[in-house]
Structure 1
Amino acid sequence: MAVQGKVQQWLNQRFQYQTPKQLKQNDVLVFIYQQGFLYVVLILITFIAGVNYANNLILGFCFLISAILCISFYLTFKQLHALNIEILSPEVGQVNEALSIKFILKQSTKTPKYIYIKYADQLQQVLLNERQQSIQLHFVVEQRGLYRLPRIQMYSTYPLGLVRAWTYFYIQKEIWIAPQPKILDREFHISASSGIPDLDEFRELRNFRAGDSLQAVSWKQVARGQGMYVKQFEDQVDTETLNIDYIQMPSNEHEEKLSLMMGLVDQCEQQQIPYCVRLPQIELAQGSGEQQYLQAQLLLARA
């Protein structure tokens, strides 16, 4: 086990990936692969037979198949050599949702390459026939918190399957996994402004939501039986916010509290309601939108 640990540590140091790189000669490993061992046995048998019987025809055949093996080493090595690799990974993911990693392969000339990418017990076959091509790798993470991507192996056995050329990628970037959202069974209070709109220019009507001021309701629509609507004006600022507080979550389990908070964050984003997130040691200021959502995910992932 100690030897295996040292080997893994050596591989991690040698094949670590931090920035886009071009595969050089010392990045690609090459060795005989599966049926290639039988091919070597065939070479040995023909060589022994040719020497034993002093048969030049058998020796010539032995040298021919030996040359084919040598050429296979070169052709297989060239499948990976000089490839430009760029790996793009998200900053944050979510429990039990697909975490997508973008693998970008670039080559200087448009040469067909037959490549396999092995990761997390999955094997993906890639035909690279363009100068640049993107592949999506999908991981499913089942635990919240810091996640390190497993080792990714890229290899090729082209053209004859006798030799394998391969390399590894140990991605150093850290990815945080946010909790799986859980919907609350009961409603939470949403604080809203109770100001009376002034004589600003009328903009539109929107559906009435819990917490809206009754003074802003369009009673004409109510009288006509069209339902409750709230008047919106050009200069009227919608100050409706939701305070997502860890202490107020109806659970005693830490992970469940975070899942409930994540569920509220998702609902606020869907309804475009500004929100703030409060944890015992840290707080996320009020806001909404893509950046606010990302910060909320990171906050809950690190909690």
Structure 2
Amino acid sequence: MNLSARLPGQWWRRWLARRLPAARRQDLTHRSVFILPTALGIGYLVLCGVLFIFGTNYQNNLILALCFLLISLFNTSLLLSFRNLAGLTVAGGEGHSRHAGDALPFDITLSSERAHYHLELRFPGGVNRYVSKVGPRAVTVQALHPPHRRGRLRPDRLVIASAYPLGLCRAWSRLDLDQSALVWPEPQAGGQLPVPAASEGDHQNRRHRAGVDDFHGLAPWQRGHSLARVAWKQAARSGEWQTKTFVTPEGVPTELALDPALPLEAGLSRLTHQLEQLHRRHQPYALRLGPQRYGPDSSEAHRRRCLDALACYPESP
């Protein structure tokens, strides 16, 4: 029974893949726009049918004229609803990585040579993103994809729809914009941070970064440097302007690795929490995953490299 329930959905996805193949940039045409009456539109048509029955039964030309007027209005709404989507250009942008359990934003750019009004964008299961107007100037919005498990995510087709102008008909399209994003493991607290292995040369070899804690030396003064840091004594003695530089010691790097006593996903979540803690403290750390070692470093680029590596780590068989 479950198999038979899945067959219509599989057939529908295969048909969409043939009719609307994946592409980063797509123009909406008569092949990609679908339209059906809304609940309000169905009630409107029922009313027109009732008026027609009454008009023919009582041979009342006034009621028949009203019925035909309402039907022509519905037909006009049908055409305008289709025109409000046709001609729109939709381009997929960057997918932003997030932790598992968080919604993932994907950039969507909309543009057209003429105006389009009251558009709705959403991924299946996600929240609607409303755009009031799109014109020749491109509009970039973010559509939120529902939370997903760790790994690489290829989102389902984006639904773009509109019931403009009267709400009687709903025109929509389902587009595969060939986007992807990495879902990082969900941070889970637990355990203690590994203690850095100190050595005799740690104090001589410890890393430093620009800061305000310790005096580091003098450097040639350049336009734009603060006058408060000018070494005035040296300037008075030699006539050459120099500026004082300061550094902040980063400490001994901490090395993170998977705990073999934990299940894989729990270990990855623990590592994610630990490296996020170290990053917030601006403390250098290295990450070892099998034969690969990342760092040590404390920059934002290093954090993203480590989180991407955790997201792509192979699942246990």
Taking structure 2 as the reference length, what is the TM-score of the superposition? 0.71
Give the alignment partner of residue 254 of structure 1, picking from 260, 264, 271. 264
Closer, same or farther: CA 134–53 of 1 in aligned 2, 3 Å: same
Give the alignment partner of residue 266 of structure 1, picking from 268, 276, 285. 276
1:251 Cα deviation from its structure 2 partner:
3.6
Aligned residues: 270
Aligned to 1:300: 310
Measured in 2, the distance between the counterparts of 1:300 and 1:187 equals 17
Aligned to 1:278: 288
Measured in 2, the distance between the counterparts of 1:281 and 1:174 equals 27
* 2:93 counterpart of 1:95: no
Question: SS of the counterpart of 1:25?
Answer: coil
Measured in 2, the distance between the counterparts of 1:60 and 1:52 equals 14
Aligned to 1:68: 73
Measured in 1, the distance between the counterparts of 2:116 and 2:146 equals 31
**Stretches of structure 2 lacking an aligned partner (at least 5 in a row):** 206-210, 215-244
Aligned to 1:205: 213
Question: SS of the counterpart of 1:263?
Answer: helix
Query: Which amino acid letter does the alignment assign opposite residue 166 of structure 2?
Result: L
1:113 Cα deviation from its structure 2 partner:
0.8
Measured in 2, the distance between the counterparts of 1:47 and 1:256 equals 66
1:166 Cα deviation from its structure 2 partner:
0.7
Closer, same or farther: CA 236–136 of 1 in aligned 2, 3 Å: closer
Q: Do the aligned partners of 2:37 and 2:170 also contact (CA within 8 Å) in 1?
A: yes
Mapping of residues 163-182 of structure 1, within 5 Å: 163-182=169-188
Q: Do the aligned partners of 1:98 and 1:139 also contact (CA within 8 Å) in 2?
A: yes
Measured in 2, the distance between the counterparts of 1:156 and 1:115 equals 5
Give the alignment partner of residue 194 of structure 1, picking from 202, 208, 213. 202
1:301 Cα deviation from its structure 2 partner:
1.0
What RMSD, in angstroms, separates the aligned Cα atoms of the two structures?
Answer: 3.3
Closer, same or farther: CA 285–143 of 1 in aligned 2, 3 Å: same
Closer, same or farther: CA 169–281 of 1 in aligned 2, 3 Å: farther
Aligned to 2:128: 124
Give the alignment partner of residue 148 of structure 1, picking from 151, 154, 158. 154
1:293 Cα deviation from its structure 2 partner:
1.8
Taking structure 1 as the reference length, what is the TM-score of the superposition? 0.74
* 2:48 counterpart of 1:36: no
1:255 Cα deviation from its structure 2 partner:
1.4
Query: Which amino acid letter does the alignment assign opposite residue 93 of structure 1?
Result: R
Q: String of CA shifts for 1:12-67, please: whole Å, max 9, x gaps.
A: 44345431322222211112222322333343444455556655444433332221
Aligned to 1:245: 257
Give the alignment partner of residue 13 of structure 2, picking from 4, 8, 24. 8
1:6 Cα deviation from its structure 2 partner:
1.1
Query: Which amino acid letter does the alignment assign opposite residue 276 of structure 2?
Result: D
Measured in 1, the distance between the counterparts of 2:58 and 2:247 equals 101
Closer, same or farther: CA 120–32 of 1 in aligned 2, 3 Å: closer
Q: Do the aligned partners of 1:244 and 1:275 also contact (CA within 8 Å) in 2?
A: yes
Query: Which amino acid letter does the alignment assign opposite residue 103 of structure 2?
Result: A
Measured in 2, the distance between the counterparts of 1:57 and 1:205 equals 89
Q: String of CA shifts for 1:99-135, please: whole Å, max 9, x gaps.
A: 22233332334x4612233434344262423534343
1:89 Cα deviation from its structure 2 partner:
3.9
Measured in 2, the distance between the counterparts of 1:37 and 1:280 equals 61
- Give the fraction of aligned pairs with identical amino acids, expressed as a percent: 22
Measured in 1, the distance between the counterparts of 2:133 and 2:262 equals 55
1:140 Cα deviation from its structure 2 partner:
4.5
